[in-house]
Amino acid sequence: MPELAMPSDLAEPPGLASSRDLVGPLVEWYRANARDLPWRRPGFGAWGVLVSEFMLQQTPVARVIPHLEAWLERWPTPADLAAAPPADAVRQWANLGYPRRALWLHRAAVEIRDRHGGIVPSDVDALLALTGIGDYTARAVAVFAYGDRHPVVDTNTRRVLARAIDGRAQPGPPSRRDLEAMAAILPHDREMAAVVNAAAMELGATVCIARVPRCDACPLRGRCAWRAAGYPDTGDDRRKQARYEGSDRQARGAVLKTLRDAATHALPLAEVVADWPDALQRDRAIDSLIADGLVEVSDGLLHLPL
């Protein structure tokens, strides 16, 4: 979802006061059903939370966990990653997808080392100033790593709020109202507010899912406006992701995999996925990767960024 830069002191909007009734059952359900995820364990640390949030963008939890563990074992601090060449970050990212995130994370690590003494900042504005970090990630780090009180809204949270409060099958386009709606249900206590943020995300990820929600298992079923209205089809404005097979994304992935796996880490341009069925698409993929800074050309050789 697109990141939204918003102030941290959002006022409660009119008409949402009753949404606070959701908090009790939501927290009770979360404490009994929350998944045991690495970034939720005590002492995981702000750097680990930041890395996990980068990896979790548009990537399922099950795929992220082994990559996260390997990443933090190799680079346990921002300074460790900042000292490595960007190419190592791209290789370590492997098949997580959206590999620009690896470059952005590397640049953010350099900025954390150079601007913040190697310590991930807790201030939302300071986090927003780092490469690759938007409103969701900044707030998630501030809340889940440092215990600050902010509304944290991801795609799963937006779906829970849309159904339980607004009576809609799917959330509309991201807007300021998402943060206002979440702010409206947050307890004043910072620790409890963090739990409510996590609980709403967890409910959307495991029960209030997009296609076939598990309403019988939902702690909010007695308070859900969408259920009370008879599950109306209110439309779906979510952007549909283009098919992967045969796409430019697939061609880009093939180019990156070839370079990651190359023993010499550099190959002549003509030898990079030379058997790709669409030569124009292959060339377009290479050009776009160069434009994104994910690959470089030197003396006719293609390689990962130095």
For 32-91, write each residue's pLDDT tens digit.
999 999 999 999 999 999 999 999 998 999 999 999 999 999 999 999 999 999 999 999
* pLDDT value for 246: 86
Whether residue 120 has pLDDT greater than 60: yes
Residue 53 falls in the annotated catalytic set: yes
As a dihedral over the C-alpha atoms of residue 49, residue 50, residue 56, residue 62, rounded to 10 degrees, the angle is -40
Question: What is the homologous superfamily of the domain 17-228 according to CATH?
Answer: Hypothetical protein; domain 2 (1.10.340.30)
Tell me which of 12, 28, 53, 191 is the catalytic residue: 53
* pLDDT value for 77: 98
Percent residues over pLDDT 90 in the chain: 77
Write down the domain spans for the chain: 17-228, 248-303
Ranking 13-22, 107-116, 160-169, 247-256 by mean pLDDT, the lowest is: 13-22
Q: What is the mean pLDDT of residues 259-285?
A: 90
Question: Could you tell me the pTM of the whole model?
Answer: 0.85
- What pLDDT band is residue 12 in, cutting at 50, 70 and 90? very low
Whether residue 16 has pLDDT greater than 70: no
Tell me the C-alpha to C-alpha distance, in Å, between residue 272 and each of 189, 257, 268. 55, 10, 7
How does the average pLDDT of the chain come out, rounded?
90
